[in-house]
Chain A
Amino acid sequence: MKVVDPLFGALTKTWQFTTRNKKAGIGSFLLLVLLLITAFPTFFAPYDPTAEIFTPRAGVTWSHILGTTAFGQDVFSQVIVGTRQSMMIALIVGLFCTILSVVIGVSAAYFGGLADDVLSLFTDVVLVIPTFPLIIVITAYVKSASFWLMVFVLVLTGWSYGARQLRVQALSIRNRDFLLAAKARGESSWYVIIVEMLPPMTSLIVANFLGAALYAVLAASALQFVGLGNINTQSWGTMLYWAQNNEALATGMPLWALAPGIAIALLGSALALLNYAFDEIANPALRPVIRTRRKKVRA
């Protein structure tokens, strides 16, 4: 019998997935480029993003392909260096939200009864309280939210949607034979949940991670845009804040405000495309219809 190295098998599966599914392919390519920029910003950025040394309000030129700000900083360098914070927010908030969703959603389904009632009620209440106003109220008292405070409030408000979805899926596999067999063997609850229950749910868990990451990117940039983040850090949201405060759109520097938005949209699209690709894996009915030309039968 041929033994396939599990790591190798997983890698080839991932490779097939990204090359065969168009949405996954575009999404992973975008994400890869942005990860490279996150890792090596100085390699891609032509100038120091904070240096106020150029002609202010300059239009598009070869040396400043996105123009300069009202303070004489290079817009392109700011977009490049700002990638890191958005990416970190996406990955960290996505990770913590997913952990919370899995713990709360899956244990609600596994334990059932009163535990399920309490956890589901809690999840639903958190879900219906409008998140953004809540985030605004919390950060308003702090004035300028630091990176970790932002992560904290985003995780606090972002886990409930995933928990609800995961609970539903966990409920559907709770009474399958392989789980009952594990319980009959006398395995502990933790063993059953981690080793038996979670693996079949992988694609939904990954989809939830991507959804939470997308939520984090959009909410964090919105928070910084209205001036509730730390306005002295380099990020796409704070770029939008400074552009708006200097009326970049009305005073002939539209790229200062438009470029960071497009950058957010690129990261967001990458996450959203991968998210839908994972949905298509979990539910084959959603996959695009492949059109084959049928020959007309003539009677």
Chain B
Amino acid sequence: MKYLARRFSFLLIALWAALTVNFFIPRLMPGNPALAMMAKFHGRVNPSALHALEVAFGVNTHQSLMSAYFQYLGNTLTGNLGVSVSYFPLSVSSVIAKALPWSLSLVGVATILGFVSGTALGAIAAWRRGGALDNVLPPAFIVISAFPYFWVGLLSIWLFSLTLGWFPLLGGYNETSTPTWSVAFALDVLWHAVLPASTILITSIGGWILTMRNNMISVIAEDYVKMAKAKGLKPRRIIWQYAGRNALLPNLTGFAMSLGFVISGAILVEYVYNYPGVGFMLLQAVEQEDYALMQALFLLITVAVLLAIFISDILTAILDPRTRAQS
């Protein structure tokens, strides 16, 4: 378990780095723009909430940078993220709690679906080297990967919502209905999720196809795969249980490393579709100069990415016996 312990300490270091960056960015900006935000608050917020904001943005405090830093760390770790300007008087954490389920389900499902299907397609393409799949997929997805995510969203809105009218235009559900736990509402939510989810899927799947294909090509050349072929094993068994299992390992690491890029794209997809998730909220917070909400969302997205990376580390440990060996 030495491997997992090392990965866990990396998680903690990265988390600390993100918190520190989050603390120093507003302080490094010329003329602390958070001052304007604080002015809107005076006399409207209870003193302790205001103080938490002052600590977070380095306004009006007579304490040293170091003690402000540690107080900020304490506030953040206990979930005291301040008050939102744009959703006043709600606290930042309660505002985020509303948006989080939308993003987790949309981005989470689309990303996992993209990874699983992309990896499978890449493995098959490499197995049938020179076949139709292998000739068409890589060049097609090289070109698709060069399209901006948000533009693919714009294109599909124009094509499928405005021109053909197949899908609803914007949002996460029909605005005239109230969110309830009913089948009709669930269907409405699914209906609204089809276009944004497909946009994330199409733009992210190419990377997984290409990397899996390339890993698989070098694994297939190994002797043990030739041996499996010579033994007359079924191709399905060789692809998934012999070659695929080993080729998947670098792809899993790659998944962890490029998750940040996928999340970045998902933010824009939410923005284009006005999807009520974390990414849309982040850009709205920017527009309304709600800096407390903005910084909290940045942290939240970072934590989500770091946790996903740690989960993929656990999966690697399960799939790769070498990581479990005592060395």
Contact = CB atoms under 8 A, between A and B. Distances in A.
Interface string B287-307: 100010011011001100110
B225 to A, nearest CB: 14
Contacts of B267: 132-133, 136
Contact of A249 (B14, B158, B257): B158
Given A141-B25, A142-B29, A254-B158, A265 B260 contact: no
Interface string A1-45: 000000000000000000000010000000000000000000000
Contacts of B283: 136, 226
A221 B146 contact: no
A201 interface: no
A267 B147 CA distance: 9
Contact of A264 (B151, B282, B295): B151
B78 to A, nearest CB: 22
A181 interface: no
Interface size class of chain A, counting residues whose CB lies under 8 Å from the partner chain? 35 or more
A279 B146 CA distance: 17
Given A222-B148, A240-B151, A261-B154, A130 B302 contact: yes
A180 interface: no
Interface string A229-266: 00000000000100010000110001001100100110
A79 to B, nearest CB: 13
A285 interface: yes
A65 interface: no
B21 A130 contact: no
Given A133-B282, A286-B214, A125 B154 contact: no
Interface string B191-203: 0000000000000
A250 B272 CA distance: 13
| Chief secondary structure at chain A's binding surface | helix
Given A128-B257, A129-B260, A249-B162, A265 B146 contact: yes
Contacts of A124: 10, 14
A128 B25 contact: no
| Chief secondary structure at chain B's binding surface | helix
B286 A228 contact: yes
Contacts of A218: 146, 148-149
A216 interface: no
B151 A134 contact: no
A136 B162 contact: no
A169 interface: no
B297 A133 contact: yes
A104 interface: no
B26 A141 contact: yes
Given A271-B146, A276-B142, A130 B305 contact: yes
Interface in A100-152: 121, 124-125, 127-134, 136-138, 140-142
Interface of B: 10, 13-14, 17-18, 21-22, 25-26, 29, 33, 129-130, 134-135, 138-139, 142-143, 145-151, 154-155, 157-158, 162, 210, 214, 217-218, 221, 256-257, 259-261, 263-265, 267-268, 271, 282-283, 286-287, 291, 294-295, 297-298, 301-302, 305-306, 309
Interface of A: 23, 121, 124-125, 127-134, 136-138, 140-142, 161, 164, 214, 218-219, 221-222, 225-228, 240, 244, 249-250, 254, 257-258, 261, 264-265, 267-269, 271-273, 276, 279, 283, 285-286, 288-289, 291
24 contacts: A121-B13, A125-B14, A127-B257, A128-B256, A128-B305, A128-B306, A129-B302, A132-B263, A132-B264, A132-B268, A133-B302, A138-B25, A140-B294, A141-B29, A141-B33, A164-B257, A222-B149, A244-B154, A261-B154, A269-B142, A269-B146, A283-B214, A286-B217, A288-B135
